[in-house]
Structures are given as C-alpha cells and as structure tokens.
C-alpha cells in the first residue's frame, strides 16, 4: 500500500519540467514499476522522445486557467481495458481492478450483468462483452484509501457522489 502513491497532475512536464500553458495539449501516462502505478504528464515534445511505452496513456489538455477540471472518464475506461486485458494475481492489482469496475458502473460505462461466487460480472458499454471481476478481500477503510489514489490518478472527484 505505502508504495502506491500518486500525485495530482502537475502543472509542469514530468521530463523537461516546463510549465504547461493554459489549454496546452499534453500526454498523461500511467506507468507501472515494481507493482505500483504512478502518473507522468509529458509535453508533446517529450512524449515523442519517450524511450518506453507506458501501461496506459491518454491525450489531454490543460484546463483553461480558472476553468473547472472536467473528469476524464474515458481515461479510466482505457485504464480498465488494460487491467482486464492483463489479469493479475497481484492482490493490489485485483483491488484496483475491482474499484475501477465499481466506479465505471456508477458512471454507466459498465452494467452489472450478474454475480458469481466471489466475482462480479460486468457488461462493458463499449463492446457489449461481459468481464468477470474477482471480488478482492478489502475493508472499507482500504477501499476509501484506494479511492483517493484513483481520484489523484485520473483527476476525478469521487467522494462527492458517494452513496448518492
């Protein structure tokens, strides 16, 4: 758990440290190293010069200054696709996959298609297929901690709509 720390989107490029301009296009990446995920935000020049492929990435744009950030749920869908495409026995990975599935269900990108012993069956809105998501052993407190980390990864606010 302690290893999985992420930071909110920086106002500057992770590589060259140049400060992003209002509405500048950039590339955000989720990088996996030693079982942990972290986020990198690259200016397009640094993105073109990358030497390795991230786990997941998406093009984004700095918000107009003073404009409220919009959640990028599409980024979370991409992340989820990668998680499902590369199933892992790693307990943390399974917890993350489960949590992302819960979030995407609330966002109507996944639909509960059934419940199996210790697993959720979810129908994906983008291809109609059903994925099986094992339910991890996770307490409410740890779930909440992970939820905060997901908010930081994807710049979304999840708490405000909890238990709506």
**Residues engaged in binding Zn ion (CB under 5 A):** 13, 15-16, 43, 46
Minimum CB distance to Zn ion, residue 21 (Å): 12
Minimum CB distance to Zn ion smaller for 48 or for 127:
48
Minimum CB distance to Zn ion, residue 122 (Å): 37
Minimum CB distance to Zn ion, residue 15 (Å): 5
- What is the distance between the alpha carbons of residues 24 and 13, in angstroms, rounded to a whole number? 11
What stretch of H or E contains 130?
A: strand 130-134
Helix/strand/coil for 8:
coil
Q: What is the DSSP letter of 161?
A: G
Question: Within 10 Å of residue 73's Cβ, how many Cβ atoms?
Answer: 15
Bridge partners of 88, per DSSP, are none
User: Could you tell me whether strands 36-43 and 56-61 are parallel, antiparallel, or unpaired per DSSP bridges?
Assistant: unpaired
* Integer CA distances (angstroms), 55 to 4, 32, 73, 75, in order: 15, 6, 17, 12
Minimum CB distance to Zn ion, residue 18 (Å): 5
Minimum CB distance to Zn ion smaller for 12 or for 116:
12
Minimum CB distance to Zn ion smaller for 29 or for 46:
46
Helix/strand/coil for 111:
strand
Minimum CB distance to Zn ion, residue 20 (Å): 9
Minimum CB distance to Zn ion smaller for 18 or for 116:
18
Token pair for 125: 């809105």
Minimum CB distance to Zn ion smaller for 38 or for 97:
38
């Amino acid at each position: 758990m302690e290893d999985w720390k992420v930071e909110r989107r920086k106002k500057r490029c992770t590589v060259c440290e140049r400060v992003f301009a209002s509405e500048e296009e950039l590339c955000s990446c989720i990088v996996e190293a030693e079982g942990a995920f972290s986020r990198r935000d690259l200016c397009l020049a640094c993105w073109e010069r990358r030497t390795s492929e991230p786990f997941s990435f998406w093009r984004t744009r700095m918000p107009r200054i003073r404009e409220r950030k919009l959640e990028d749920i599409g980024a979370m869908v991409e992340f989820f696709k990668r998680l499902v495409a590369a199933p892992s026995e790693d307990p943390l990975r399974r917890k993350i996959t489960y949590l992302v599935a819960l979030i995407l269900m609330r966002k109507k990108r996944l639909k509960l298609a059934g419940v199996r012993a210790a697993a959720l069956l979810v129908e994906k809105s983008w291809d109609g297929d059903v994925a099986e998501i094992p339910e991890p052993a996770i307490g409410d407190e740890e779930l909440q901690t992970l939820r905060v980390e997901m908010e930081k990864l994807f710049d979304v606010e999840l708490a405000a709509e909890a238990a709506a």
